[in-house]
Structure 1
Amino acid sequence: MNTALAMTAPGRPVTAPACAYGTDGTRPYDCATATWTASTVPTAKVTAAPVWRRPPVLLAALAALLVVTGGALWWWWQRRRRRPGVAPGGPEPARTGGPAATGRPAGPGTIYPRAALPAPAGARRRTPPIWLMVGVAAAVLAGVVGAATWTATQRVAAIDTTKQPTSGAWTGRSVTGAVGVPLRESAFEFTVYRVACATAAQVVAGASGGRQCQATVGVRNLTPEEQTWHGQLQRAYLPGGNWVSTDENATRVANLGRDVFAHPVAAGSRVVLPLVFTVQGSQPPKQLELRSGVFSAGVRVDVP
């Protein structure tokens, strides 16, 4: 058997299904898939970002700047307080002694110091300039804002938007794949091999006036117990967002009168069968949703 594969991006695997049908072309006997992986293209080397664009480096530089600035301010303040002849926070001290103490006569051009006066008890200490306090506060605020922004950016970047929600009553994790790819859910492994819709000439006018789309689906029970599944849980989503469940009457006809949902799937067994969906409009379904149970997260298959 030969098949033609559509070109894809380099290094991306391509899965091609193949089925053996009866003479009528509707009842599949068995299906299989093959995955072809093209030669991978060597990945380009990722160059490191410049130093000035690395948040950890910027934060470290900001912290070092704050430390150096604080140390310089402390040194300047201590030196100002320890200047000789200036009392910390007080007025300039008076010199001791006088004419009587030295025994020298007073004369023009000679200044004799007066007796030292004690500094006032409530002398007001000098405070740092307002511009200095505002600058330090702005630097600290910038550091805090930068650290908070970097932390928030890292948390947002770590969020994986491709994951599907699993909270609530769902069992397992929903999986999305393409036609021909086996997809595993809580109990079953579903593989959609083909989706074919009737043409305008093949449409049979019925009560609903819709057309039938038949999906060839493989179902494998991976649990040690038999599993029952229901036709109303299998859905075909249309391009507009609406969906339809399995047409159980048409599905029974496609399976030669056998109700595939009336009997459970045995443990460890695999069946290949057609599911029929009756849709409205001329566009085929864009996605199929298959699940084993009511609370199963199920799988989604994108229809090309």
Structure 2
Amino acid sequence: MPASTRHHRALAVFVHCLGILSAVPALPAAAPPAAAAPPPVVAPTPEPAMPSAPPAVPTPTRAAPPVAKPPVTVAVVPESTPAPRYRIQVRNSGGTPVDTTVRQELPPGASATAITAGGRATRAARGTGQSATEVTWQLKLPARSTTTLGTALTAAAPARPLTAPACAYARDGSRPYDCATATWTAGVPAAAPQRSETPPWRRTPVLLAGLGTVTVLAVGGVWTWRRRRRPVAAALSGQHPGTVYPRPAAPRPEQLRRKPSVWLIVPVAAVVLAGTVGTAAWTATRQVAAVDTDSQPTSGAWLGQGVNGAVGEPLRESAFEFTVYRVACEPGATARQCEATVGVRNLTPEQQSWHGRLQRAYLPDGNFVSTDEQATRAANQGRDVFAQPMAAGSRTVLPLVFTVAGKAPPEQLELRSGVFSAGVRVDVP
């Protein structure tokens, strides 16, 4: 082998070994064992807190705060008397005495004939949007006590049901503790049970006519059958005795196809026609009777059916039950505030939010105003009642304030839980 070739091979082997050595990682030098280092100090993770500003999208995990139980509760019970009478029970469940003002709103056209000691009836001025008459008591409720009040009313229409709500307010009458309502109904004597009208097909003349028709059809069928058997019997009885020799085959007479008797076709057709006409008339009558002429047309976009009522009547919509207990407006000719004491109950198994812009007061000229949220917050001792959702099954009583212009008070309040809810409408006397 030439010397140059040997040198080239040796150089190639040397370069290859250098490449292998450069590819192998350098081993760390052996160090003396050091003392075990303490574990690194981990800073404590702060607990998640609520954001300082409300997020643009509601937080799903945020639970509705529980509604605080008022220290004073009210219950109204109608008595079973010929004239309207109500028993109002005001209970103080706290450990300290409470000064309170109890007001009972009387329905239009009713007046108080008897009031328990300490109460007085006052008639509201015209144009204040308040009930014509209300009964007021100034009470000092002892701790853990129940005070019973009573009123007797008279009305122009004695048999008409009367609804008279009652509320307990703070001493100055600005903050409602609790409200309740009840409807008195005149006792109607038990009437004799009315016998339901017998259906037409169960009446005696109809049954006799049907029996007669069946008898006629049966007689006609038997007569037709016997008449058709007579030619066959006569032919069989007229044959001669047989002979030893076979007879020539006689042509058989052509047999006509049997047709049903006219006496059978006509009654059956009449019965079928009468049954068809009667069924159609009965179905049409039921469909027409099921049409509610008093219902208001609603769009398919609304949830639930719109409900109308009066002050003191609980009205339900898709999610909430609203009860308007009292509506009072400030005197004046320009912009003034009308305060409505409203009870709201969440009927759903989930928390629900509602908004002040959806609560409206309709004026006599057809215009409406929404809730004055600043005035409503001031009336609720600085609390924004629309900021937090209502817990499932909870109930609260709160004032809603509407700022209206002019002397005329609102004619109707519209309350709803959501944008697409049909809501309820309350007529203001």
- Is TM > 0.5 for Structure 1 vs Structure 2? yes
- Which residue of the other structure, out of 275, 279, 300, is the alignment partner of 1:143? 275
CA offsets per residue over residues 245-286 of structure 1, 9 Å max, x none? 41426844873895745522553362321331637795741x
For 2:275, give the aligned amino acid: G
Partner in structure 1 of residue 333 of structure 2:
203
Matching of residue 274 in structure 1 with residue 416 in structure 2? no
SS in 2 for 1:79: helix
The answer on 1:32 being equivalent to 2:157 is: no
> Whole-Å Cα distance in 1 between the matches of residues 184 and 314 of structure 2?
16
Normalised by the length of structure 1, the TM-score is: 0.62
Are 2:325 and 1:193 equivalent residues in the alignment?
yes
User: What aligned pairs does 1:50-199 form with structure 2 within 5 A after superposition?
Assistant: 51=198, 54-57=199-202, 61=207, 64=211, 67-83=214-230, 86=231, 120-121=253-254, 123=256, 128-129=261-262, 133-154=265-286, 157=289, 170-171=302-303, 174-196=306-328
List per-residue Cα deviations over 1:84-137 (Å, max 9, x = no partner).
xx459x9x99x789xxxxxxxxxxxxxxxxxxx9763155767634x7644432
Q: Which amino acid aligns with 1:246?
A: S
Contact preservation (8 Å) 1:203, 1:212: no
**2:165 is the alignment partner of 1:17:** yes
Q: Report the counterpart of residue 68 of structure 2 in structure 1.
A: none
Task: List per-residue Cα deviations over 1:206-253 (Å, max 9, x = no partner).
Answer: 6xxxx765422233456676643212211335678x462414268448
Q: 1:253 to 1:57 in 2, by over 3 A?
A: same
Contact 1:169 1:295 in 2 (8 A): yes
Match of 1:255 among 366, 372, 379: 379
Cα offset, 1:70, TM superposition: 3.3
Q: Which amino acid aligns with 1:302?
A: D
The match for 1:107 is: none
Residue 138 of structure 1 aligns to which amino acid in structure 2?
Answer: A
Match of 2:343 among 211, 218, 230: 218
Same amino acid, percent of matched pairs: 47
Task: Show structure 1 runs of 5+ residues with no match.
Answer: 98-116
1:9 positional shift: 6.0
How far apart are the structure 2 equivalents of 1:167 and 1:30?
Answer: 38
Q: Which secondary structure state, in structure 2, belongs to the residue aligned with residue 82 of structure 1? A: helix
Alpha-carbon contact 1:288-1:301 (below 8 Å) kept: yes
Please tell me the residue identity of whatever aligns with 1:55.
P
Cα-Cα RMSD: 4.8
| 251-260 or 149-158, larger mean C-alpha shift | 251-260
SS at match of 1:289: strand
Letter matched to residue 323 of structure 2: T
AA of the residue aligned to 2:200: P
- Give the distance between the partners of 1:144 and 1:68, measured in 2 at CA: 22
Assess, with a 3 A threshold, how the Cα gap between structure 1 residues 36 and 187 changes in structure 2: closer, same or farther.
closer
Opposite residue 275 of structure 1, the aligned amino acid is V
Which structure is larger by alpha-carbon Rg, 1 or 2? 2
> How far apart, CA to CA, are the structure 2 residues paired with 1:155 and 1:182?
31
Give the TM-score normalised by the residue count of structure 2: 0.47
Residue 192 of structure 1: how far off its partner (Å): 0.3
d(CA) in 2 for partners of 1:78 and 1:295?
73
Provide closer, same or farther for how the CA distance between residues 71 and 38 of structure 1 changes in structure 2, counting only shifts above 3 A.
same
- Structure 1 residue 33: Cα displacement: 2.8
Contact 1:212/1:277 (<8 A) preserved: yes
The count of aligned residue pairs is 267
Give me the whole-angstrom Cα distance separating, in 2, the residues matched to 1:79 and 1:65.
21
Measured in 1, the distance between the counterparts of 2:315 and 2:375 equals 22
